[in-house]
Amino acid sequence: MAKEIVLHTNKVYIGDPCYVIKGPDYDRLCDTGDGTIVPGVGICYSTGCGDCELEDNDGNLFNFDSGQIAIVDASHCDLSVKKDASFFERLFVDSLLTIEVPSGSAKVTMDKDSDGDIWMTVIDESNGDMLFHSYLHTSD
């Protein structure tokens, strides 16, 4: 069953939440299993694998350490680059997938089908524009 939430934000992050969220938000988002919804924060699903790289059907590459993928209000994420960041740290932050939400209101939907594919959609709630729609194949 698809999970849906409206996030009032100008940007969402899509990826492994362990890279960008720490503390209570991470714990609430990731501790209760597939399809966890945390109001105002986002939705999280298990990918079934950590320490791996998966590609969605649009060619976006996602790295996983925690074995979870989430769509999160980016204001809850640390997407900053430290002043003394190395080239690779800067490259890593630049590679994180974020989606701009022009209206400031995103309808986010995630679902996992019987094949293990995780479907992800971000729609601008004010005008219905599709901002992101993809799926991540998580099983061999």
What global pTM score does this model have? 0.91
**75-84: Cβ within 8 A, 24+ apart:** 75/9, 75/11, 76/21, 76/25, 76/41, 76/42, 77/13, 77/20, 77/21, 78/20, 78/21, 78/22, 79/13, 79/20
Q: Name the residue range of residue 132's domain.
A: 3-136
pLDDT per residue of the chain (140 residues) written in tens, 0 to 9? 799 999 999 999 999 998 899 889 899 998 766 889 999 999 999 887 777 888 899 988 888 888 899 999 999 998 887 788 787 777 777 778 999 999 999 999 999 998 889 999 999 999 999 999 999 988 65
The domain total for the chain is 1
